[in-house]
Amino acid sequence: MKVNSMDNLFQQLNEVLIISFYVLLIVGPLLIAVAFLTYLERKVIAAVQYRKGPNVVGMFGLLQPFADGVKLFSKETIIPASANKIIFVLAPMISFALSLVAWSVIPISENLVLANINVGILYIFAISSLSIYGVIMAGWASNSKYAFLGALRSTAQMVSYEVSIGFVIVCVLLCVGSLNLQDIVLAQKNYWFFIPLFPMFIVFIISALAETNRAPFDLPEDESALVAGYFTEYSSMLFAMFFLGEYSAMILMSSLGVILFLGGWLPPFDYYVFNLVPGFIWFFLKVGILLFIFLWVRATLPRFRYDQLMRLGWKVFLPLSLFWVFITATVLVFFDILPNFYG
């Protein structure tokens, strides 16, 4: 009996090791993607502003993100004397870890997914609502006015825009009838959801900008008013974790948009030639398009004022998305095309 239970324990540990290996397979490429996203951002903004951007380190400046990374690694970690040390160190770790764990359920292609769970979309939604804690803990633990104000702003903003993202997701779920991310993609076999749900696609993109604290909603890091917002007091590796977390959250939101509205790994037309291209390439192409929108918006639009941001969230997006949920449900019931998963 005892031997049996020990065997069982070893089996479980073995499973844990195998899963850890898969996790590394996801996290490694993701971090490289984050590094090149920062490079891409600087290049895109430079192109918009008619500059060259990074072009010194490596060919076309391609090694610039790694040079920046090494710089951040080798700097001194400064913890303010009046800060709450444990929470101060914990906050960026939470921020970074949460932006990575959501990737476990993202289906990159038909078979390429770590955990194909029934409630995938709710899982991502839950993780993105948890990511508020990294921000608010950082703001509080820094014991600094700028950081605290930045954290309060950021939290209010994320809570507000989560509501409209929730309704957008409900719209898509009404058309799918399942919370599984693979089912959501497969339901778009005939047409991608951004065609019938176009207004929701726009609301989703704008809310995603607000949710990831990106321009024009980057109020938490409003330089002219709040120094750097909630990470004012952070330096070196702890700062880098916030930075990596923000960029990987951007990639995550883009892939969520691709899964919900742009048909995930499905090719644009169901022709033979398009089907030859492996699914993950289509997926990354679409993610790339959405990421470009993120960068394009940052380079072109001025920052929102705080009350304008709140009004947009609560008085425009919330009623609009609620109304659209109602319309979607009505149309589905009226034409009797409500998806039925009862078999």
Partner 1 sequence: MNLFFFLFSAIIVLSAIAVISSRNPVHSVLFLILAFVNAAGIFVLAGAEFLAMILLIVYVGAVAVLFLFVVMMLNINLEEIKFQVKKYFFSGLFVGLILLAELFFSFSNLDLIRNKNVMVTNSKNLTNTHQIGSIIYTEYFFVFQLSGCILLVAMIGAIVLTLRKRPGVLRQTVSKQIDRKKEDSIEIIKFKNNNAN
- Site residues, partner 1 (CB under 8 A): 8-9, 12-13, 87, 117-119, 122-123, 125-127, 129-130, 132-133, 136-137, 140, 148, 152, 155, 159, 162, 178-179, 307-308, 311, 341-343
Burial tier of 55 (Cβ tally within 10 Å: 0-12, 13-18, 19+): middle
Helices 236-261/64-74 angle, 10° precision? 140
Minimum distance of partner 1 from residue 247's CB (angstroms): 22
N-term to C-term CA, the chain:
43
Minimum distance of partner 1 from residue 306's CB (angstroms): 11
Minimum distance of partner 1 from residue 15's CB (angstroms): 9
Minimum distance of partner 1 from residue 331's CB (angstroms): 20
Minimum distance of partner 1 from residue 132's CB (angstroms): 6
Task: Give the nearer residue to partner 1 in terms of CB position, either 35 or 169.
Answer: 169
Burial tier of 12 (Cβ tally within 10 Å: 0-12, 13-18, 19+): exposed
Q: Tell me which residue of 253, 237, 284, 240 sits closest to 38, measured CA to CA.
A: 240
Minimum distance of partner 1 from residue 285's CB (angstroms): 30
DSSP 3-state of 233: coil
Minimum distance of partner 1 from residue 266's CB (angstroms): 23
Q: Give CA–CA dist 239/210, Å, rounded.
A: 21
Task: Give the nearer residue to partner 1 in terms of CB position, either 101 or 293.
Answer: 101
Helices 85-101/236-261 angle, 10° precision? 30
Say how far residue 218 (Cα) sits from the centre of its chain. Answer: 15
Task: Give the nearer residue to partner 1 in terms of CB position, either 12 or 111.
Answer: 12
Minimum distance of partner 1 from residue 63's CB (angstroms): 39
Task: Give the nearer residue to partner 1 in terms of CB position, either 40 or 119.
Answer: 119
Task: Give the nearer residue to partner 1 in terms of CB position, either 52 or 315.
Answer: 315
Q: Give CA–CA dist 132/156, Å, rounded.
A: 9
Q: Give CA–CA dist 304/121, Å, rounded.
A: 29
Q: Tell me which residue of 216, 211, 223 sits closest to 303, measured CA to CA.
A: 216
Q: Give CA–CA dist 125/231, Å, rounded.
A: 24
Task: Give the nearer residue to partner 1 in terms of CB position, either 56 or 316.
Answer: 316
Q: How does DSSP assign 97-126, residue by residue?
A: HHHHHGGGG--SSSS--S---TTHHHHHHH
Task: Give the nearer residue to partner 1 in terms of CB position, either 143 or 235.
Answer: 143
Task: Give the nearer residue to partner 1 in terms of CB position, either 65 or 229.
Answer: 229
Minimum distance of partner 1 from residue 229's CB (angstroms): 16
Task: Give the nearer residue to partner 1 in terms of CB position, either 114 or 152.
Answer: 152
In b/e form, how buried is each residue of 244-266, taking b as 16+ CB within 10 angstroms?
A: bbbbbbbbbbbbbbbbbbbbbbb
